Amino acid sequence: MIKYLVKSPNPQILVITPLLTGHSVSKETKKSIKRNKTPFVWISYMGDGNPCKNTQKAFNIYRNDYELPKYVIKIDNDIQASRGMLDEMFLTLEKSSKNEAYTYCSFEFQGSVNAKFPAIPFDSDRLRVNNYISSCSMMKTNKLIEVGLWVTDDKGFRLLDWALWLRFLKRGYIGVPALKSSFVATASESSVSARGIEDYQEKRKWVLENFS
């Protein structure tokens, strides 16, 4: 089942928040995502799958009943977005070229992991080596469908977003930074971002073997 957090007439963006069973969307996330003017519909989906699996399930349930908006973005349940983040991403894609399939922004982890990732110009060579783009990036819906939607295999859980960006790249699509957007994500001890280097290297090897 999906739950509607925001409904707008003629939405331009589909926002999807995947949730583990028993989890909820934080007050900070609700407040910060609602501070946007572009019409959007926001749904959450609760399940026991990894975030990409739950996101894809929500996407498929929604499109069975409604026409899909022009753009789609996965939003985690514990982020604090800058004011107008969705608006800036929307405008960036509206001005983008045909081969620019998604837009990404600066982000920061705070908590068990503390790290900053500025939204640098798109660099395909760098992306082939390591990921620098968040899963909370806005995509052109038709391009996402064209490449086969999200990568959902548990074998790559932690780096499934990277696998998706490489999937886009293999089809000739690149990303474009939304320089006026950003968000802060909370990293708890149990979050996937806080897992050790061995886990990261194992998942990195799997992604490179299957998507590079």
Tokens 């399939």 correspond to 101
Amino acid at position 162, single letter: W
Whether the full predicted model's pTM is greater than 0.75, yes or no, is yes
pLDDT at 193 (0 to 100): 52
CATH superfamily of 2-211: Spore Coat Polysaccharide Biosynthesis Protein SpsA; Chain A (3.90.550.10)
Rounded Cα distance, 152 and 150, in Å: 6
Q: What is the pLDDT of residues 16-50, one digit of tens each?
A: 999 999 999 999 999 999 999 999 999 999 999 99
Rounded Cα distance, 71 and 101, in Å: 10
Q: What is the pLDDT of residues 58-105, one digit of tens each?
A: 999 999 999 999 999 999 999 999 999 999 999 999 999 999 999 999
Check whether 191 has a pLDDT greater than 60: no
Rounded Cα distance, 2 and 56, in Å: 12
